Structure 1
Amino acid sequence: MQMSIVVLVISILLFFVLFFGIGFILNMLLRMSWIMAFIYPIIAILIVDKVRFIQYFTNSKYAFGQLGHRISSLAIADILILLSGLAGAITAGIVIKLLRKNGYQMF
C-alpha cells in the first residue's frame, strides 16, 4: 500500500512527539535518563511482530524467526517512522540530562 508524503511526514512527527513525551515523563518520574531509549526496542518489536510476547520465551526459535521475517519485509516508510520514535526517546533523555545539568530538578 502506498503512503503519501504528507501522511509519512505527519506519522514521523507524531511518533517523535509521542515517544519524546512518554520518555520525558518517564525520565522525570523514575529519574532514569535513558529508560525510554531502553524500552523503545521492545515497543517497536510489539508494534512490528504479530507473535504473542510470551512466545519469545516458550517458542523462541519460531518467534525470532517470525520477527526477522517481519522486520526484513518492512517498507522504508515504516522504518523511518519507527526510527523517528527512537529519535524522540533519545532526545527526551538528552533534554532531561541538559535540564538537570542546568539546575532544573524534576520531581
Structure 2
Amino acid sequence: MTIATLPISMLLFFVLFFGIGFLLNMLLRMTWIMSVFYPIITILIIDDVRFIEYFRNAGPSFEKLGEKIVSLAPADILILSSGFAGAIVSGITMLVLRKKGYRMF
C-alpha cells in the first residue's frame, strides 16, 4: 500500500460509515445503531467464515477470527478504525442536531 493510498482509504471509510450512520439515524431514530453494527460489519469484512458458522461451530470460528485479527496489517487497522470513528461521529452529530432543535433528526 502506498503512502497516498492510506489517507485516501481512511477518509473514504470515515465518510462511508459516517454517511451510512447518519442515514440510519435519520430513518430509524436510533442514535448509536451504526456504532453497534460496525463490529459485525468489520467481522464480515475481515473474516472469510460464513456468519452462521459463528453459531454452529463457535469455537473454531472465533479461533480463526482471532488469527485473522492478529494478522492484520497496521494499515488495515487504521482504515477500519477510521470507519468506526465515522460511525461514532455520526452518532455525536445526531445528538448535537437534536439538541439544537432539529426535529427530523
Q: TM-score, normalised by structure 1?
A: 0.96
Alignment of 1:42 onto 2:40? yes
The within-5 A match list for 1:1-107 is: 3-106=1-104
Aligned residue pairs total: 105
The 3-state SS of whatever aligns with 2:4 is: helix
Structure 2 unaligned blocks of 5 or more = none
- Distance in structure 2 (CA, Å) of the matches to 1:47 and 1:84: 14
- Distance in structure 1 (CA, Å) of the matches to 2:33 and 2:7: 26
Percent of pairs with identical residues? 67
Structure 1 unaligned blocks of 5 or more = none
- Distance in structure 1 (CA, Å) of the matches to 2:10 and 2:55: 32
Deviations 1:43-85 (A, max 9, x none): 0000000100000000001100000000000000000000000
* Structure 1: 4+ residue segments shifted above 6 A: none
- Distance in structure 1 (CA, Å) of the matches to 2:104 and 2:91: 13
- Distance in structure 2 (CA, Å) of the matches to 1:95 and 1:80: 22
Deviations 1:6-45 (A, max 9, x none): 1001000000000000000000111010000000000000
The 3-state SS of whatever aligns with 1:87 is: helix
Q: TM-score, normalised by structure 2?
A: 0.98
